[in-house]
Amino acid sequence: MSDIAPNPATEADLATIMKIIPHRYPFLLVDKVRDVVARESAVGIKNVTFNEPHFQGHFPGAPIMPGVTIVEAMAQTAAVLVGMTIGYGEKAPLVYFMSIDKAKFRRKVVPGDVLELHVKVLRGSTKIWKFEGTAMVEGQVAAQAEFAAMIDASATA
């Protein structure tokens, strides 16, 4: 699929994340990815700060991270996992959402929280991958979802 060799690393810092996925401020929602097990799982870290633009309107005076951005952060973690599994570099493929299922939101995520984004591969193939994600804050489940993504090797960031 890719002409780039897989990376056996188990962590991705911000510079590595930015090589794998095209997202940038204000839409880059993962600061670090750790505990990467190729084709299996990874944990993304998002340090939630008041300076993020969505807090200006969601909600003024009582900032809460929107659920859709939590799911996006899980998906970005999954995209890094895929990139580290299949290889990344100058020709890193783009990863697109295909579906989001069973999304549930259990706890508010607010500035100052450290969001842990646990993603697990349910199915991985050449083009289509399905994941289970759980977002946690201080050991409590904040959100859960299953989602699928398509890997497009013909489109690169």
In a domain? residue 34: yes
- Give the integer Cα–Cα distance in Å for 3 and 106: 41
Helix (H, G, I), strand (E, B) or coil at 35: strand
In a domain? residue 6: no
Which domain range does residue 117 map to?
A: 14-156
In a domain? residue 75: yes
Rounded mean pLDDT, 8-23: 92
Q: Is the pLDDT of residue 62 over 70?
A: yes
In a domain? residue 4: no
Q: Is the pLDDT of residue 154 over 80?
A: no
Can you give the pLDDT at residue 94? 81
In a domain? residue 111: yes
**CB-CB contact of 70 with 78 (8 Å):** no
In a domain? residue 9: no
Q: Is the pLDDT of residue 156 over 90?
A: no
Can you give the pLDDT at residue 7? 53
- Catalytic residue set: 58
Q: Output the pTM of the full model.
A: 0.91
Q: What angle do CA 78, 81, 82 make, to 5 degrees?
A: 90
Alpha-carbon distances, residue 146 vs 71, 80, 136 (angstroms): 9, 17, 15
pLDDT band (50, 70, 90) for residue 5: very low
CATH of the domain at 19: 3.10.129.10
In a domain? residue 151: yes
As given in the structure block, the two tokens for residue 132 are 């289970």
Q: Is the pLDDT of residue 105 over 80?
A: yes
Tell me: the pLDDT tens digits for 128-138? 999 999 999 99
Q: Which residues contact 15 (CB under 8 A, 6 or more apart)?
A: none
**CB-CB contact of 48 with 109 (8 Å):** yes
How many domains does the chain contain in total? 1
pLDDT band (50, 70, 90) for residue 151: confident
In a domain? residue 1: no
